[in-house]
Amino acid sequence: MQTLCVSGVGAPDVVRELADRLSDAGRVAIVDYTPDSTIDEPVAAPDKPTPAATTAIRVAADGTWVGHGTDQSPMNLLDSLATDYDYALIAGFRHHRLPVVLIGNAAGESGGDTKTATGSDTVAAAGDTADAATAANVVATAESADEVDLDALRERLDESEPHITLDTLVERAKGSPLAERSGAIATFTGRVRTKDSADDARTEQLTFEKYAGVAAERMDAISAELAERDGVFDVHMHHRVGTMRSGEDIVFVVVLAGHREEAFRTVEDGINRLKDEVPIFKKETTEADEFWLHEKA
């Protein structure tokens, strides 16, 4: 799922108009976190009553999903949408791993009406500016919503790193033509470890870079080779790039197999080969230091 955050006055208008331009490209989810939304007030779908919490949903005839509310974090919400939507456009929110458009005061002037993710939490951020990790993901700035180049954004959106979750890969595996022969799906999730031991300095974040195209091609080749094993039907891998903070997920491996033995063995071999063979490089930032680990991640 491709994602884009839009932060600042007029963000919902930009999101809505960009969604119109994406209507022929796939299913679009619109998520609104601005205090005074101009997105149409949603109503409950006929077969889905409005939840007791603060979220209401509407699924339009074209499959567009519109959400208002604060009963779950934006990143958890995005994770839940990733298996069903091709695009997610988020108004009034920014995150250090997601591309963002900054409008007017959200680009650094006083004021502002956005939310910023800090770790796994979401906090109100009146007038704050994006940190260095978030700033690296700024894809456009504009003085006003009217000045945002929507056509340029539409062209650039598919070039951004997709938001892929473990569930995304599991659903792909379940869609395999050989799924009916499978009795096991094994998965691995690698995440940012805060400490190796109690006396270690806390790891605040890890930053990953990869050679564009080369890393994906190598992961695809490894997956294809592993899927040729007897009893293994499908293998999927994904390694996130950019900055991941303590406790965030980094890498996923999913194996569809006939039995648990083949599944477990192939998951372990898959993550080992990914770390040994795929050109992804890691910088660690601790409380005390910052350094690149020259070994491949």
Using CA atoms, how far apart are residues 238 and 253, in angstroms rounded to an integer? 7
Using CA atoms, how far apart are residues 45 and 33, in angstroms rounded to an integer? 20
| Token pair belonging to 16 | 């809505």
Using CA atoms, how far apart are residues 167 and 11, in angstroms rounded to an integer? 29
Domains of the chain, CATH where assigned: 2-157 (no CATH), 166-296 (3.90.1170.40)
Query: Residue 215: what are its φ and ψ, rounded to 5°?
Result: -65, -45
Cβ(113)–Cβ(126) below 8 Å: yes
pLDDT in tens, the chain (297 residues): 999 999 999 998 999 899 989 988 888 888 888 876 655 554 444 444 433 333 445 555 566 666 665 566 788 888 988 998 899 999 888 888 899 999 997 765 433 444 444 333 333 333 334 455 566 789 999 999 999 999 999 988 988 889 999 999 999 999 999 999 999 999 999 999 988 888 888 898 999 998 878 999 999 999 999 999 999 999 999 999 999 999 999 999 999 999 999 999 999 999 999 999 999 999 998 888 888 876 444
| Token pair belonging to 81 | 């949408």
Considering the entire predicted model, what is its pTM?
A: 0.80
